[in-house]
Structure 1
Amino acid sequence: MIAASLPQELTAWGMFWAADWVVKAVIIGLALASIVTWTVLVAKSLELRAAIAAERREHALIDGALSLADIAGHPQLAASPLVAAALAELRLSTDALDDREGVKERVVSRFERIEAALGRRMARGIGLLATIGATAPFIGLFGTVWGIMNAFIGISAAQTTNLAVVAPGIAEALLATAIGLVAAIPAVVFYNHFTRRIAAWKALLADCSAAVLRLVSRDLSRGIRVG
């Protein structure tokens, strides 16, 4: 008899349309956050896959070279900022190549700034995942608290605790918590995944930096003047 008298359709869609406007706003915001999470997943996965593959090819070419001159005009390394930075520093230090340690120190300084800039660029979008993962459950909880508060107001107005009065409002409130978890859990998982992948990419970038620095050191030891 109680179930037959329920005034609302207790489905997710029905609860959404019957919810208070604040709860609706919370659910819509969380849904948008979930869309952002999956968009970052697709975009960053493609970006990282391409970047890691490029770094592996670059490292293989640089590590197998005998001198910086061997790779200076290589088409696959034309866009390499590390090779370009090493060549630029050697050109600027033409009159100071006898100071090998000074040259290498300046090359390392250039590499550090390049690695930092590339790292910041690769990490774009990851902060959104961290923010969504940290805040979505609390935003959903806010919607839940607001919805339950409205449910109690409804109980007071109806002067009854009948399930037909209590259940819809509480169900609508709990829907906000559920949507918050749906938005937060993938964001946290993806954030941790991309943190590991970016760390692997940074390790490859550091390997490339070390390989270029070895070529610079080798050329300086041989007295070869590149550029």
Structure 2
Amino acid sequence: MDISAMSPLGLFLNAGPVSKIVMALLLAASVWTWVLIIDAVIVALRLSASVKSARAGGSPGVLWPILSAAQEARRVEIPHESAKARRRRVALRVDQARKELMNAARGDLPNLAVVSSVGPFVGLFGTVWGIITSFAGIAATQETSLAVVAPGIAEALAATAYGLAAAIPAAIGYNRLGATISRLDDDISQLIRNGRLTR
């Protein structure tokens, strides 16, 4: 199989051991990023469908733990508890259930922030290492022609490209999905205030 030396696979295969490790880590981070993004999108879609259903008076869907928490809190009988204290106790339990649900919904989103901030620096490390290796090769061969320098520089820059390939989707996913889940959290809070999830 003829693989171009300047293709992403060719650059990886022709890279040195350190650059290969860096590229492999960044490739794994990129795949992991997409797994997290797809998982978060599925969670957001389920939450959105459940919010719409609950708003229309239908099934609470994945919001059931909130409704269940409200019902359980109401069933608890505390002697000499005033109506105001009971309402406060139920509201606290419902709010706790909402927070638990939303924390589970956010899941691994913070890991996207880690990839988006660390990925470029890991790629930059690979780039610097590749350039150092290229200069060492120039010093050893005493050749400074473009044909000698280009492969090493291309390998070095490939590490940066791998880093950006992991970081850019992670940054977009973290910001967009984080905003979506926060908006859904506000919608759920509104449903709680309207009594849709505390009936």
CA deviations 1:101-129 (Å, max 9, x no partner) are 10111011101211111111011120121
Q: Does 1:57 pair with 2:41?
A: no
With over 3 angstroms needed to count, the CA separation of the structure-2 counterparts of 1:91 and 1:10, relative to structure 1, is closer
TM-score by length of 1: 0.78
SS at match of 2:143: coil
| CA–CA distance in structure 2, aligned partners of residues 211 and 29 of structure 1 | 48
Task: Select the residue among 68, 72, 92 that pairs with 1:88.
Answer: 72
CA deviations 1:122-164 (Å, max 9, x no partner) are 1112012111101000000000011001001101100121212
| CA–CA distance in structure 1, aligned partners of residues 183 and 33 of structure 2 | 22
Q: Does 1:44 pair with 2:40?
A: yes
With over 3 angstroms needed to count, the CA separation of the structure-2 counterparts of 1:93 and 1:11, relative to structure 1, is same
Matching residue of 2:19: 23
CA contact 1:26–1:143 (8 Å) conserved in 2: yes
Give the paired residue count.
195
Mapping of 1:124-163 within 5 angstroms?
124-163=107-146
| CA–CA distance in structure 2, aligned partners of residues 213 and 13 of structure 1 | 54
With over 3 angstroms needed to count, the CA separation of the structure-2 counterparts of 1:191 and 1:28, relative to structure 1, is same
RMSD: 2.2
CA contact 1:107–1:213 (8 Å) conserved in 2: no
Matching residue of 1:106: 89
CA contact 2:51–2:60 (8 Å) conserved in 1: no
| CA–CA distance in structure 2, aligned partners of residues 160 and 124 of structure 1 | 53
With over 3 angstroms needed to count, the CA separation of the structure-2 counterparts of 1:114 and 1:161, relative to structure 1, is same
SS at match of 1:61: coil
Question: What is the Cα deviation at residue 166 of structure 1?
Answer: 1.1
Q: Does 1:204 pair with 2:169?
A: no
Question: What is the Cα deviation at residue 55 of structure 1?
Answer: 2.0
Question: What is the Cα deviation at residue 94 of structure 1?
Answer: 6.4
Task: Select the residue among 158, 163, 180 that pairs with 1:180.
Answer: 163
SS at match of 1:212: coil
| CA–CA distance in structure 2, aligned partners of residues 157 and 170 of structure 1 | 16
CA contact 1:83–1:212 (8 Å) conserved in 2: no
TM-score by length of 2: 0.89
CA contact 2:55–2:196 (8 Å) conserved in 1: no
Higher Rg: 1
With over 3 angstroms needed to count, the CA separation of the structure-2 counterparts of 1:167 and 1:209, relative to structure 1, is same
> Which runs of 5 or more residues in structure 1 are unaligned?
1-7, 63-75, 217-227
| CA–CA distance in structure 1, aligned partners of residues 66 and 49 of structure 2 | 16
